[in-house]
Amino acid sequence: MSLVLAAVCIAIMVVMALALARSFSSPTVYDRILGINMFGTKTVLFIAVVGFLMGRPDFLDIAIVYALINFIGMVAVLRFFEYTAPVE
Site for other proteins, residues 6 to 25, rule: CB under 8 A: 6-20, 22-24
Minimum gap (Å) between residue 38 Cβ and other proteins? 5
One character per residue 25-64, x = contact with other proteins (rule: CB under 8 A): -xxxxxxxxxxxxxxxxxxxxxxxxx-xxxxxxxxxxxxx
Is there a contact between 13 and 36 (Cβ–Cβ < 8 Å)? no
Q: What angle do CA 80, 84, 85 make, to 5 degrees?
A: 155
Pure H helices in 29-59: 29-53
Amino acid at 34: L
Number of residues that bind other proteins (CB under 8 A): 83
- Smallest distance from the beta carbon of 54 to other proteins, in angstroms? 7
Binding mask 67-86 toward other proteins (x if CB under 8 A, else -) reads: xxxxxxxxxxxxxxxxxxxx
Question: Within a 10 A sphere around the Cβ of 81, how many other Cβ atoms?
Answer: 12
